[in-house]
Amino acid sequence: MSKNNAFPRTAAKWLKTFAVAALATSTIGLAQAATDKPLKLGTTAAFVPALEVAVQEAAAQGVKVELVEFTDWNTPNLTVAKGDIDANYFQHIPFLENANKAGGFNLVPVAIGIINNVGLYSKKHNALADIPVGAKVAIAGDAVNGARGLQLLEKAGLIRLKPGTGYKTTQADIVDNPKKLRIIELEAVQLARALDDFDLAQGMPHYLKLAGTIDPAKALIFDGQDQKVYALQFVTRPEGKDDPRLQKFVRIYQTSPAVRAALDKHSGKFYTAAWEH
């Protein structure tokens, strides 16, 4: 009887081993197929030049990346949340926190990028001391970038804010406005074209460069390079944070000499590589 059962038992054991091996091979194949799909990364025009270089570098290393360019700051998070693209790169943590709350998203930052300096610009006045009483001042209309504009006005000595409000500062936190500035909030991407109509405007050098409205170096004051809370982030869904395509692309963006050269050429002295600080 043991002889009669020996073959079936051996065959069953062999079939089980074969099935496990086949399953493992299938799993590897599916994983390989997933990594062969292009990583879809959303961004906005200001960040495209350096990202395009990173895409070329990634392709040379076997990682396909497709850039998806947006013209507003709301759609990139919505499309990641819906799964239409894999990740985005255009926002800092305060903006992401606000977007998650407002949109009911659960998006997460996975890697840090650059800090873009922000300044106060004027076509009508050559110095902060020249800003008149009752001047019209434009700042960003979204909650977090508006707070950054208010902090910049305080750094310039034009207003005083309630202590400790940080990136959640609003105009309600202004405790002193000696020049009676009329602070008007605009959509952030419109600030670059507000300088003809305002005495002073918050400006983002990369957008000013694209708009060609003023030399980005001619800010009356910059907010400095110590604002790490405003560093851009690579953002994705929780299940995508370990995506090897995204991880490799981030490494290329942070370490490639060609990408750094593109950042220097496009952004000049108006950015800081936050991962180095």
Beta strands per DSSP E along 117-210:
119-121, 136-140, 160-161, 174-176, 182-186, 200-203
Which of the listed CATH numbers 3.40.190.10, 3.30.70.420, 3.40.50.720, 3.40.50.970 matches domain 119-222?
3.40.190.10
CB 9 within 8 A of CB 35: no
Confidence at residue 31, expressed as pLDDT on a 0 to 100 scale:
41
The architecture in CATH of the region 36-116+228-276 reads 3-Layer(aba) Sandwich (3.40)
By the 10 Å C-beta count (0-12 exposed, 13-18 middle, 19+ buried), 230 is classed as buried
Confidence at residue 225, expressed as pLDDT on a 0 to 100 scale:
59
Confidence at residue 269, expressed as pLDDT on a 0 to 100 scale:
81
Residues carrying CATH 3.40.190.10, the chain: 36-116+228-276, 119-222
Per residue of the chain (277 residues), give pLDDT as tens: 444 444 445 444 444 444 444 444 443 443 444 557 999 999 999 899 999 999 999 999 999 999 999 999 899 999 999 999 999 999 999 999 999 999 999 999 999 999 988 999 999 999 999 999 999 999 999 888 899 999 999 999 999 999 999 888 999 999 999 999 999 999 887 898 899 999 999 998 878 888 898 999 999 999 865 678 899 999 999 999 999 999 999 999 999 999 999 999 988 888 899 999 8
